[in-house]
Structure 1
Amino acid sequence: MPLSLHAAFVPSALQMLGTAHHLLNKTQDWCASKGCDEETILAARLIEDMLPFTYQIKSVAEHSAGAIAAVRKGLATPDLNPPPATFDALRDKLAGAKEALESIDEDEMEGWVGRDMRFEFKETRLAFSAENFLLSFAQPNLYFHASAAYAIARSQGVPIGKMDFLGRVRGERA
């Protein structure tokens, strides 16, 4: 049986949303235990020209549920609004994305296969099929931003490891 578009995208997106939520909790708990300033860790970056932790978490939501919304419209454009500025607001952003993904109908997604859509930002215009947008653009971006958030938290001293990034894996049934 071939893998559906839903099966190829949604479970992994939900897994990374869970990872981002877990990273937020671990980072906030660590910050509280160390007495650090939350604004400082939320604004932390790996390097000066890279966007901060808050942006990375926001982008996990944008490249999951935001990608689904873009396919529905046939057009993806970056959300240029500032990221949520608190742990709670970031959790709300992730919760909204999770709710949107959990409500997506598999049949609706299968109806998108072969549908034209495009990405536009400034001078960049990229044409995609819906499935190629989700699997070759949104999904890699989703993993990139989850990984960047992990790396920022780790670089600040948050005691996290590989299993914190992987989140809930989908093992085979015994």
Structure 2
Amino acid sequence: MTISLYEASVGVFVPYLGNLSVLLDHASAHARARNIDPAVLLNMRLSPTMYSLKQQVAEANRHAVVAGALLAGRAPHTFSDSEPDIAELKSRISAAIDFVKGLPRAEIDAAADKEVAFTFKNGTQRKFTGKSLLLTFSVPQFFFHVTTAYDILRHAGVDLAKKDFLGPPG
């Protein structure tokens, strides 16, 4: 059985970005119920050297968008540099979902052996084939950031369970 690169990218990124948005709904409700400034949650991190919750969400978006764009041969969607609140983060997740869903299936599926270069924030690049980008870099990075966002919220006392991370059965 063959699994397409489209299903392994868009088919994975879209539902888990949706789940990440729902996690932010839980964070918002938690902040309201406990009279906590939501910015406190957004700026939380598990360790002083790790990204904050808002940065974890941004990185999950970035990995989904950049991977999809590289596989499809398109320019990636860009996000505002403004300081986001929870509503803005949810809007950015929605934009990331719309972007990856709008990418052409045929071009992504044809990208397995295509050479692509991921550009890091510091400007350095790392070359991959489309398949290796997706399977050994972008999907693991994406899940690292989604998982860490979940973990920050759990650590903050937000009432979450594994089912919130996994989302509804698909």
Compute the TM-score of the two structures, normalised by the length of structure 1.
0.87
> CA 1:132 to 1:75, structure 2 compared with 1: closer, same or farther past 3 Å?
farther
- In structure 1, the gaps of 5 or more residues are none
- In structure 2, the gaps of 5 or more residues are none
Determine the C-alpha separation between the residues in 2 that align with 1:120 and 1:104. Answer: 20
Secondary structure of the structure 1 residue equivalent to 2:40: helix
Secondary structure of the structure 2 residue equivalent to 1:64: helix
Q: For each residue in 1:12-52, what CA deviation from the matched residue of structure 2 results, as whole angstroms up to 9, or x when unmatched? A: 11121011101100000111011001111110011111110
Residue in structure 2 matched with residue 19 of structure 1 by the alignment: 19
Deviating more after overlay: 11-20 vs 117-126: 117-126
Identity of aligned residues (%): 25
- Alignment partner of 1:9 is 2:9: yes
Determine the C-alpha separation between the residues in 2 that align with 1:116 and 1:156. Answer: 41
> CA 1:133 to 1:144, structure 2 compared with 1: closer, same or farther past 3 Å?
same
CA deviation after TM superposition for structure 1 residue 80, in Å: 10
- Is the Cα contact below 8 Å between 1:150 and 1:165 reproduced in 2? yes
Secondary structure of the structure 2 residue equivalent to 1:63: helix
Determine the C-alpha separation between the residues in 2 that align with 1:67 and 1:123. Answer: 16
Residue in structure 2 matched with residue 102 of structure 1 by the alignment: 101
Note the 1:58-73 alignment, pairs <5 A: 58-73=58-73
> What amino acid sits opposite 1:88 in the alignment?
A
Deviating more after overlay: 147-156 vs 117-126: 117-126
Secondary structure of the structure 1 residue equivalent to 2:84: coil
Q: For each residue in 1:78-119, what CA deviation from the matched residue of structure 2 results, as whole angstroms up to 9, or x when unmatched? A: x89757420111011100011112222221212222110122
> CA 1:151 to 1:82, structure 2 compared with 1: closer, same or farther past 3 Å?
farther
> CA 1:71 to 1:7, structure 2 compared with 1: closer, same or farther past 3 Å?
closer
CA deviation after TM superposition for structure 1 residue 75, in Å: 9.3
Secondary structure of the structure 1 residue equivalent to 2:2: coil
Note the 1:6-155 alignment, pairs <5 A: 6-73=6-73, 82=81, 84-121=83-120, 122=122, 124-155=124-155
> What amino acid sits opposite 2:18 in the alignment?
G
- Is the Cα contact below 8 Å between 1:54 and 1:83 reproduced in 2? no
- Is the Cα contact below 8 Å between 2:72 and 2:103 reproduced in 1? no
Root-mean-square deviation (CA), in Å? 2.3
Compute the TM-score of the two structures, normalised by the length of structure 2.
0.88
> What amino acid sits opposite 1:99 in the alignment?
D
- Is the Cα contact below 8 Å between 2:71 and 2:108 reproduced in 1? no
> What amino acid sits opposite 1:106 in the alignment?
R
Question: How many residue pairs were aligned?
Answer: 168
Secondary structure of the structure 2 residue equivalent to 1:164: helix
Determine the C-alpha separation between the residues in 2 that align with 1:160 and 1:108. Answer: 37
